[in-house]
Structure formats: structure tokens, C-alpha cells
Structure 1
Amino acid sequence: MGGDGNGGVELRVLCWDHPRCVDPVRAAAAAWQRIHPEVRIEVGARPLAAFNDQPVTEIASTADLLFVDHPMVGTVADTQAVIPLENLLDAEVLAALTAGSIGNSQESYVWQERQWATAVDAACQVAVMDERRLSHVSPVPKSWAELLDLARRVPGSVAIPLYPSDAVLSLVSMSADLRACDAADAEEMWPVEAIATLRELAGLADPRSFLMNPPQLLDLMSTGRADDVPLYSPLLFGYTNYQRPTARGRRLSFGAPPAFGDRPAAVLGGAGLAVSAFSGHPSDAAAFAAWMSGTETQRDVVLPAGGQPSSRAVWVDPEADAVVGGFFSGTRSTIESSHLRPRDAWWPAYQEAAGLALVQALRIGAAPDAIHDDLNRLLAIARDKELTR
């Protein structure tokens, strides 16, 4: 994170370890270095689980640019582990990125009226299916009742990632869905009906669900033995890689998740590039982040390299949609109406604790009321810790 000894600039980017992140960054780094030969960019990666749960403060000193999840922004604002981009980029640049992003992708990194990252990658929770094989046994489930009916009628046909962070985020989506259709108290974070539905699904789903995060389930559905893989998953973070015409194995299809009401709701995912407070070249780092988030780079570099652009112009482009086999058109309405997770400083630690507690309860089939009370007990502890910190 300094000069290379010859007057140049060295930057290190810390990704999460999936081709959807690493490959576009490598392609962008090579393109940027052709434009700016004085800059050298090293690309590293950390596990997806660490991206979801590891505090940014633990990695801020290891790279100039860090991929972060939007619920982390409250923590980074408190700790000043990264630099607010208003200190490094012109207001016009930030405004253009916000106006050009899909859904709330760029705005998700705003906290306390400061921009803490640029949206490079966009995603939300969606459904995934092996459409051809599913059509032999069932229509695509539109409601949670239809989904549970499929899971009962065709054992092993349904799976859902139940790694702790994924389990709790699926419950966030289901809870947001109930609140959106006025089926739950707007102030209730964890409606019992959502918990009961997830509990029943966990008992009916492929038992390997407890061992998998989204990429692992998608790998199983696309490359596993045809008579031994699920046909459908109602909630996971979408990956264009598995729907592209160039996908290895069976091509999967992504679409809107089941709903409790007329319109499904889901939480926003994706990833943003933040500039570390420890960077020796913060202005250079911010310039690269802004360029990588811009529409032209998203279309001409990120998309062809297997990335999942945050630029709305790419999502609505029919030619880009063809590159991803219809992924954008199939999921655009879901991401444009997706919900932000809490971004308060207490949320990341609570998400980790709640996820562990939720998965343990789902494994033993605990009563929905008991799960509800336990999640709220942990929530009160997390908020009290933040108030007394």
C-alpha cells in the first residue's frame, strides 16, 4: 500500500473469494493500468463468510480498497476504518453514480449523510430453479403456501441456504414481505408467521441446506448428479454466472421469490468498494473505485468478466441481458423493490449471533414463538451494548 520505489503507485484490492468478484476486479485492474501505467494493482481475496461477518476494522490495514457489505457502514462510520468518499471524489461524480445504480445499490452505502463505498456489484435475494426439470413436477411457486406444498409432495425438490448468515437474511426477506403486505406489525422485526414458514421449510428441505451458502447450493444444482439435486430454492442471492449461456453444467434460471401477498419482497445484497483509512494513496484508490462503478466500465469490463453490474443502464440493456441469459430481466423488478438491511453499528454482530441461534433452533425444530423470543432477546442485548458502548 505504497509506492513501488520508482515513483509509481501500488494499490491492493481485497475481494471476496468468488469469480463474480475476483475476475471483474482483475479485468478492471488490467484496464486501469493500461490507462494509468504508473499504477500497479494487486488483487487479493477473503472467504465469503468473512465478507458477511468479519468486522471491517480487522481488515482495513490490509488493503487500499475493501469490498464491504452495506450493513457494515454504521460500524465503519463509527470507527473511521474507511474514508468517506466526499473527502476524495467530487460531488458530481458521486451524484452520477447514485443516479445510475440499480435500485438502492449506491444509496445503501450512505450513512449519516456520508458515502462510504461505491456500488460495484448488485444483487438481492431471488429464487433459483432448474426450470426444465421443475416443469415436470410443478409450476413455479408464486406463494409460500405453494412452495411448502411442493416441498411436501416432492421430497428433496427444494433447498435453501441455511448457513447462519444466509438463514437470518432469508428470515429478513420473509419478514419484510409480511410487513409489505400489511400482514405483520410494521415495528415487528421478526413476525412469527415468517419464522413458522422458515421453520417448516427447513424441516422439509434437502438436509444439505444446513451445510451450504448460495454458491455451494448453486454449484450442487448446476453440476450435481441429476437425480440427487434440488430443483428449486426460494431465497438466495442471485449469481448471473449460473444463468449465462456459457455456464458450466446445467443452466439455472433466476426469478422473483415466493410471496405472502401480491408482490414478493427481498433484501438487497451486492458489494461496494471502500477506501481504507490506512491507504497510502486514497485519492488514487477512490478514482479507481469510481471508475469501476461507472456505467461504461460496468458494461465493457465488469459484465464480460463475469461480474454482476450495479449500473441500471446495464440491467435494462437487452444485449447485456442476453449475455446473462435473461438474468437481468428475470430479477430486475425484485432488485428495484428490494429492502435495505439495518446499517446501525450494532447490526453486524447481531446478524452473526442471530444467525447462529436461528440455525440451531431450525435444526431441532424449535417452536416459532420460542425462536421469536430468542431473536428478540439477542436484539435487545445488541442494542443495549451499542447504547452503553
Structure 2
Amino acid sequence: MKRYKALTWDHPRGYNALAAAARLPALAEAGIAIEWDKQPLEGFESHPIADLCARYDLVVLDHPHVGEAVTSACLQPLEAVFGNETIASLEIDSIGPSLASYRFGGAHWALPLDAATQVMALRADLLASPIPVTWEDVTLLSKETGKVALSLAGPHAILSFLSIAAASGEPPAEADPDLLVSESTGKAVYELMLDLASRSPASVCDKNPIGILGHMAQHDDVVLCPLIYGYVNYTAPSSGNPIAFHNAPRSGTGGRPGSTLGGTGIGISTRCEVTPALRDHLLWLLSTQAQIGFIPAHDGQPSSRKAWHDPEVNARWNGFYRNTADTLEAAYVRPRHDGYIAFQSKASALLRQAFETRAAATDTLCALHDLYSEHRTAGGER
């Protein structure tokens, strides 16, 4: 029996489907066993990928880690494991940039098991007005109710900043990888977030997305969170109130729903001996059969475009996929150079401090740009 050690993140969406798949009789019959361990969400977002790959054969990761992984030479390129034709086929099947986000330095480094991006979460039973479409609508609801929360803990302050900039027509560091955002766009985004942060309920200020959604399900002091990573599980919770998810806000009607891509991919560490049985199992996880049937049935969030538009999947999860698919298709892909993860953590801390002290936009943007330049690898690829 060939045994593999694997690591994912500690949430039903990240663990249950993988663990259930590892228990399927077909694996034992093929002579392999996969043991999935879990790490907290914060570790998934920031733990050094090389350290994880030194201890595990399979590692569930976020796409901004790929630059760091390439520098550390700790992952196997998917083309070498599965072949170019298979990867091209997966590219067609994956929704939005789910697979493309793992491409760096001429190769792909993780299989897109799970697709997610920032979307709008709300308590439909508490919302007296129409569902907001634009950031102007969100601001008005915030002023009227005081119950609009920003997701700012961990890396999420800067992720929201990037998303609003993308909605404003300037996806950060896209036209010029050395420039995070222009002064005019950065100032507008900062002032919008500063205004919303001043009224964001204190009850969720230190919570990660899972914490915010859990709070919203149990309490009535947060009606809406305009940018938060979507978790299908909260549309039909075992306890508490259901959360409804809709497309991220736009700068204006008809504009792009600004959102920063999340989701997870399965990376294969260089310590892993890939047998035909393991290869077949990993590809099965991305098959139409698994993506539409097995993964949603085990609390997972599929990456297949077919699954996101499947009527039965949407009926089971109250339209979560259908209501947010446009946002995922247009999601912004973060820089992936080595050093980006460190920037993300420090930039979020910087923004939280600026919101707390009501720092001037010019000073904050200057510090943000300095931080980005400091962690930008010279000549690095996005």
C-alpha cells in the first residue's frame, strides 16, 4: 500500500469532500491511501509553502503562494505530471481564472479543486431595501442601518482594497506590475473603505470570513457584508439563519463586479512519488461526475463551470452558484511573485491602523506603495 500525507484547511468546505474521497474503496483497491490533515484558515493564508511541502505530499494552497513555491522549487509542475493536453482541457472546464491563477513561470502548479471569490453576503430576512448593486447603494445602506460590515481581519483589508480598485476599472498591478494602483483610484478606494469602516459593527471587526458569516447566521446586527469570500455551506446551515450570496458591488450599473479571486488548489510537492493511481484519483476529483455530484454532496465548493450552472446543485444550495457566477468569471487575480504574501499581511495591518486613526489618504497610499515596492521581486512575474 502506497501512503500519502496531505494537508488542507480546517473547514467543512476544505476538508469533508477530500476526506470522504480518500475513504472510497477504489483507492484501497488501487493500492494507495491518502491521509488528510487540517490547518487553520490563517495558516492556509500565510504559512510558508516550502515548509508544508517538506512535510506533505499533497498541499491545498492559495494561488498567491505559487511564486514563493517556484522560488523554493517545492512543487511539481502539473504539465510534467498530467501532460499539456489534460491541463488545457481542465482550463476549459474551470470557471473564471480558477486554473489560470495557478500558472506562473510558464507552468501550472496546482489543480483547481475549489472555486471562490469575494461576493456580497446578506441576511435577506433583515434587508428591507432592494439588494445593493453598486458601492453607492452599499454606502447608503450603511448610513441608513449601521449594519454593513467590512471584512478586514487577517489579509482581508487589502483584498477588499484590491477588489474595489478592480471595480473602479483599475485592477491593481495589472497594467504595470511595479505599480499597485494610481493615486486617484487609490484615494477613492481608501476614502470609501474609511467611510464604511467607521460604521462597521464592532462585533465582527476581528473575525475572519468564516467568523463573520457564522456571526451573521446567529445575530441580527450585521445585515450585509459587501465583500467576503463565499461559503456555500452558509446558504443552508444546520443551525441559525441562512445567508444569501449575490454578486459583488460595482462602481456603477453595468460595471465589473470587483472581486479578488480566492479558492484553493491541490499542489503536488516534489517529495511526492506520483503513481498512476494517485494521478487518476486527482483527476477524478476534477471530473464532471465528482464536481457536480460528490463534492457538493460533501460540503465542497466545485471549480467546474458546469457545476456552477447546474440546476440541481443550485436548487440544493439556494442559488448560491448562479447568483455569484458573474463575479467569479470576472474575478481579479492577485500578484503571485515571491514576496506577495508578506506584502498582503503587512498591507492589511497598515490599512486597519489607518482606518482606526483616520489617517490621511495620501500618507496611507504612500506607505502602501512603499510596502508593495519593498516586497516586489525584481523582474518577478505576476
TM-score greater than 0.5 by the shorter chain: yes
Structure 1 pair 178–189 and aligned structure 2 pair: CA distance change class (3 A): farther
In the aligned structure 2, how far is the partner of 1:201 from the partner of 1:385?
Answer: 35
Query: Could you tell me which residue of structure 2 aligns to residue 269 of structure 1?
Result: 262
Q: Does 1:318 align with 2:311?
A: yes
Per the alignment, residue 5 of structure 1 pairs with: none
The question of 1:236 aligning with 2:245 is answered: no
The CA distance in 2 between the partners of 1:97 and 1:295, in whole Å, is: 11
Letter in 2 for 1:276: S
CA distance in 2, matches of 1:220, 1:213: 11
**Does the alignment pair 1:163 with 2:158?**
no
- Deviation (angstroms), 1:276: 0.9
SS in 2 for 1:193: helix
Answer yes or no: is the 8 Å Cα contact 1:240–1:327 preserved in 2: yes
Distance in 2 between residues matched to 1:231 and 1:354, nearest whole Å: 27
The answer to whether the aligner puts 1:175 opposite 2:165 as a matched pair is yes
Question: 2: distance between equivalents of 1:287 and 1:9?
Answer: 14
Q: 1:180 to 1:30 in 2, by over 3 A?
A: same
Looking at structure 2, the residues matched to 189 and 371 of structure 1 have their Cα atoms a distance apart, in angstroms, of 13
Asked if the contact 1:69–1:270 (Cα under 8 Å) also holds between the matched residues in 2, the reply is: yes
State the SS of the aligned residue for 1:189.
coil
| Match status 1:250 vs 2:241 | yes
| Counterparts of 1:122 and 1:268, CA distance in 2 | 8
The 3-state SS of whatever aligns with 2:242 is: coil
Which structure 2 residues correspond to residues 1-389 of structure 1 after superposition, within 5 A? 8-31=1-24, 33-34=26-27, 36-135=29-128, 138-155=129-146, 157-179=147-169, 187=176, 189-190=180-181, 191-224=186-219, 226=220, 229-244=221-236, 247-261=238-252, 262-263=254-255, 264-281=257-274, 284-383=277-376
* Structure 2 unpaired stretches of 5+: none
SS class of match (1:338): coil
Q: Distance in 1 between matches of 2:60 and 2:356?
A: 32
| CA distance, structure 2, for counterparts of residue 24 and residue 73 of structure 1 | 24
Q: Distance in 1 between matches of 2:333 and 2:366?
A: 23
Summarize deviations over 1:132-163 as a string: whole Å, max 9, x none: 2112xx222222222122212212x1112211
- Report the TM-score when normalising by structure 2: 0.92
Cα distance, 1:294 vs structure 2 = 2.0
Measure, in 1, the Cα distance between the counterparts of 2:371 and 2:275. Answer: 38
From the superposition, tell whether residues 352 and 134 of structure 1 become closer, same or farther in structure 2 (CA, over 3 Å).
same
Q: Secondary structure at the match of 1:348?
A: helix
C-alpha change, 1:337 and 1:185, in structure 2 (3 Å) is closer
Q: TM-score, normalised on structure 1?
A: 0.90
Structure 1 contact 64–281 (Cα < 8 Å) conserved: no
Task: For structure 1, list consecutive stretches of 5 or more residues without a partner in the other structure.
Answer: 1-7
Cα RMSD (Å) of the superposition? 2.2
% identity of equivalent residues: 30
**Shift, 1:91, TM fit:** 2.5
SS of the residue corresponding to residue 140 of structure 1 reads coil
Question: For residues 99 and 185 of structure 1, do their structure 2 counterparts lie closer, same or farther at Cα, with a shift above 3 Å needed?
Answer: closer
Equivalent residue number for residue 3 of structure 1:
none
1:369 CA displacement: 1.6
In structure 2, what is the Cα distance between the partners aligned to 1:121 and 1:193? Answer: 32
Distance 2:320 2:18 in 1: 21
Change (3 A) 1:34 1:83: closer
